[in-house]
Amino acid sequence: MVHLRLSAAILAIASVALVGCSSNDSSTPSPSAPSPAAPSSSVAAPSPAASAPTSPSTTTASPTPSPSASASEDGAETEPTTVDYGDPASWTITTTGVGPLTIDMTATEISTVTGVDYSADIDESRQAFGGSCGVWLLGPHQPLSSMSVLVASEGLDGPMDVYMVDPFERTDAAFPTTAEGLGVGSSKADVESVYGSDLQREDSLYVPRGERLWIEEAGAGILFETDGNGVVTSVRSGRLPQLRHAEGCA
């Protein structure tokens, strides 16, 4: 009987406890069920910086052209440089050549200066002299058409021996002169006053009262030919003894 009474009491206490828990649940909201309004307000208005980030590409969209590109467009660095040898009439006659043309140059090297192809002239000289000597004009127009070369000492493929300034007919063209200004049209007296006792001379073989006046220096020289009135009609420069040949290859 005692055990039955204890069990009934325990059940009564348990029932009261369960009723109290049930009443507490209905009156107090659960803390694990937050209001949906709070989180929605935190994401409804995001930061402008987050919604519109600055793109890094905007800083490199318009690069500045490099200086090297503009330089190439101007052509200053890409155009090949050309050599200007000046007007042949302004060239200076020396014992070893005329202007940029010297006695150590071949016909091919002379072509790079005058721009004239001498292949046909060389072929004609080969037929006329067997390849041992050649004479031809430096160009088709003045003053080059009154200037010629003589090659003999080492054959047609060798270096030049003599350059001649010899206008075969009257012309108003200007011609090269020596550093002292001596050239075609100068007087014999002018030549004598410049070279004095260094000047050598002989009579012309073909011109009455004409003379050949020349100077020598280290195996080369300059030779002036004058007419019967003592006026220089032609000037030669180059290697001896070819310088004194009366008729080119002769």
The string of pLDDT tens digits covering residues 57-107 is 433 333 333 333 434 445 544 443 445 678 899 999 999 999 999 999 999
- Domain spans of the chain? 88-244
How far apart are alpha carbons 240 and 42 in whole angstroms? 109
Model pLDDT, residue 248: 74
Model pLDDT, residue 74: 52
**237: three-class secondary structure by DSSP:** strand
Convert the pLDDT of each residue in 214-228 to its tens digit: 999 999 999 999 999
Pair 122, 134: CB distance under 8 Å: yes
Q: In what order do the strands lie in the sheet with 232-239?
A: 134-137, 147-151, 162-165, 232-239, 220-226, 211-217, 200-203
| Residue 236 confidence (pLDDT) above 70 | yes
| Residue 54 confidence (pLDDT) above 60 | no
| Residue 204 confidence (pLDDT) above 50 | yes
Model pLDDT, residue 49: 41
Q: What is the pTM of this model?
A: 0.67
Convert the pLDDT of each residue in 162-186 to its tens digit: 999 999 877 778 999 999 999 999 9
Between residues 56 and 188, the one the model is more confident about: 188
| Residue 137 confidence (pLDDT) above 50 | yes
Q: With bands split at pLDDT 50, 70 and 90, how would you rate the model's confidence at 46?
A: very low
